[in-house]
Structures are given as C-alpha cells and as structure tokens.
Amino acid sequence: MKKIVVVLMAIVMALAACTSMQEGKELFEKKCVKCHALEKSLSATKDLAGWEKTTKAMIRYSDGRITEKDAKKIAKYLAGRK
C-alpha cells in the first residue's frame, strides 16, 4: 500500500515539473521573440544562474513586458533544456 502512495507522489511531482517547464517554454516563445530571434537564446548554453542573470537583463530591456516571475520560469526552462 505504501509503495502505491510513493509511486503516485512521484507521478504527481513529475507532472508538476513538466507543467512548469511547459509554461516556461510558452513564456519564452511569447516574450523573448519580441526583439531578437529565439535561436539567439537557444544557441546559448548557460546554467540556471547564468540564465537568471540574462533574463534579468532582458527584463530591463523589455520595459515591463517581462515580469520577474516570467523571467524565473523562462530561466528554469532554458537551463533545464537539453
């Protein structure tokens, strides 16, 4: 019985991680294409800290169209992409 609970928890957690990656991807495709091609970002490989720094810089350029929250999700998506 305990095993089933553990397996279910794992599935729920995997789904939640997937959803937030998907959200980051959508935000990225919507918000980061305004000023330069997505390829510019996709060709760069950075770790999470690097992407948080970059997306923070883009917040400043974007004049409020990208929020801190968006940037965090986008940074997570970009760092987690393989």
Applying CB under 6 A, does 77 fall inside the site for ligand HEC?
Answer: no
- Return d(Cα 79, Cα 31) in angstroms, integer: 17
Q: Are 56 and 66 in contact (CB under 8 A)?
A: no
Nearest to 48 by CA among 22, 19, 77: 77
CB of 64 to ligand HEC, least distance (A): 10
Among 13, 16, 18, 35, binds ligand HEC (CB under 6 A): 35
Task: Identify the residue among 36, 45, 67, 81 touching ligand HEC (CB under 6 A).
Answer: 36
Among residues 34, 47, 48, 49, the one that binds ligand HEC under rule CB under 6 A: 34
- The answer to whether the beta carbons of residues 41 and 78 sit under 8 Å apart is yes
**Residue 30 engages ligand HEC in binding (rule: CB under 6 A):** no
